[in-house]
Amino acid sequence: MLTIDTPAPERPKRTAAIAGALALTGALAWLAITLGTVAYQARVVAMHNRRLQGMLAAKPLEAQVVAGLEAEGTMPRDIARTADEREALARRATPPRAHVLAPGATVAVTRAFVSGEMLYLVHFDATGTMVGFTLAGG
């Protein structure tokens, strides 16, 4: 009887190809999620920055800022009038403390507000006029 020898399927090559495809798919999914997260965070920070830049351009008084932010649902948190109080505010922020403390070092009052996951540190001079702000993670 004549038999035809058929080669056995090459399982290791097939398994390696499937494993490689799964690894590549996982890596691409991770990359897409990471890029999406970075883009979303950039958009959120830009939105909050534009919001506060618009307020700063109008040079509002402290009472106007507080009333306006409260009306939009942004909650007031703390008031800092001394260096120790500013240090306490900086401990709640996610960037390095120097980034948070430096802009408020020369102002009379720094007020903290919470808007979503952002912490607004809004700076006012001795006359109560808004003179700057710092965005920080809350």
pLDDT in tens, 83-94: 888 888 777 766
Is 28 contained in some domain? yes
Per residue in 65-78, pLDDT (tens digit) is 999 999 988 888 88
The whole domain housing 28 covers 11-137
Burial of 80 (0-12, 13-18, 19+ CB in 10 A): buried
Is 6 contained in some domain? no
**How far is residue 85's CA from residue 98's CA, in Å, rounded to a whole number?**
14
Structure tokens at 101: 């403390």
Confidence of residue 99 (pLDDT cuts 50, 70, 90): low
Q: How many structural domains comprise the chain?
A: 1
Q: Kind and range of the H or E element at 101?
A: helix 97-101
Structure tokens at 83: 């260096």
**How far is residue 115's CA from residue 14's CA, in Å, rounded to a whole number?**
53
Is 4 contained in some domain? no
